[in-house]
């Protein structure tokens, strides 16, 4: 009788472990890092680049839309570099200390990536760096202004 009770308890414990332990070693999806928007992000030293994307109807004239967070107590001069097909083009922007600076919006500073030979829907490599901090190459998606949230971000074709 006691052995039957012990066997029943052991069987119940094994069944409980078998049915609840199947996710014990599985990766938890909410712990995976990802970019929750159309743009991409990276860290460059003490600067955090968030939701970087290029908007335009002509791949030779693209508006860089991004937010850069500087959590340090010192202003940073961020260099944004890209290739126009024959040479590297550099644009320098100042990111104020202890601030979040947005680029590309209607009332925000603009960085226009010109001379790109990439296509709308492709990825443009941008190289981001400042000071003596090792730079980061970021593959930035190129979108057009067909979506309502992006139509005001398309650079004018002056």
137, pLDDT greater than 70: yes
Q: Which of 27-36, 81-90, 149-158 has maximum average pLDDT?
A: 81-90
- Lowest mean pLDDT segment, chosen from 12-16, 36-40, 114-118: 12-16
Q: Model confidence over 28-46: pLDDT tens digits?
A: 666 666 666 789 999 999 9
Report residue 109 as tokens. 């500073």
The pLDDT of residue 138 is: 96
Q: Model confidence over 57-85: pLDDT tens digits?
A: 888 899 999 999 999 999 999 999 998 87
- 3-state SS, 9-38, equals HHHHHHHHHHHHHHHCCCCCHHHCCCCCCC
Rounded distance between C-alpha atoms, residue 33 and residue 154, angstroms: 29
The pLDDT of residue 24 is: 61
- What percentage of the chain exceeds 90 in pLDDT? 53
How many CB atoms are located within 10 Å of the residue 21 CB? 9
Rounded distance between C-alpha atoms, residue 122 and residue 18, angstroms: 46
Confidence of residue 1 (pLDDT cuts 50, 70, 90): low
């Amino acid at each position: 009788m006691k052995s039957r009770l012990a066997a029943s308890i052991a069987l119940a414990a094994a069944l409980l472990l078998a049915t609840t332990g199947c996710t014990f070693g599985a990766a938890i999806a909410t712990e995976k890092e990802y970019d929750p928007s159309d743009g991409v992000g990276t860290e460059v030293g003490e600067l955090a680049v968030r939701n970087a994307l290029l908007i335009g109807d002509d791949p030779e004239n693209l508006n860089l839309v991004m937010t850069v967070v500087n959590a340090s107590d010192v202003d940073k001069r961020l260099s944004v570099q890209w290739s126009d097909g024959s040479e590297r083009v550099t644009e320098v922007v100042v990111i104020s200390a202890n601030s979040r600076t947005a680029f590309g919006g209607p009332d925000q500073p603009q960085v226009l990536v010109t001379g790109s030979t990439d296509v709308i829907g492709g990825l443009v490599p941008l190289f981001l760096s400042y000071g003596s901090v090792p730079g980061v190459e970021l593959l930035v998606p190129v979108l057009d202004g067909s979506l309502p949230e992006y139509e005001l971000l398309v650079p004018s074709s002056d």
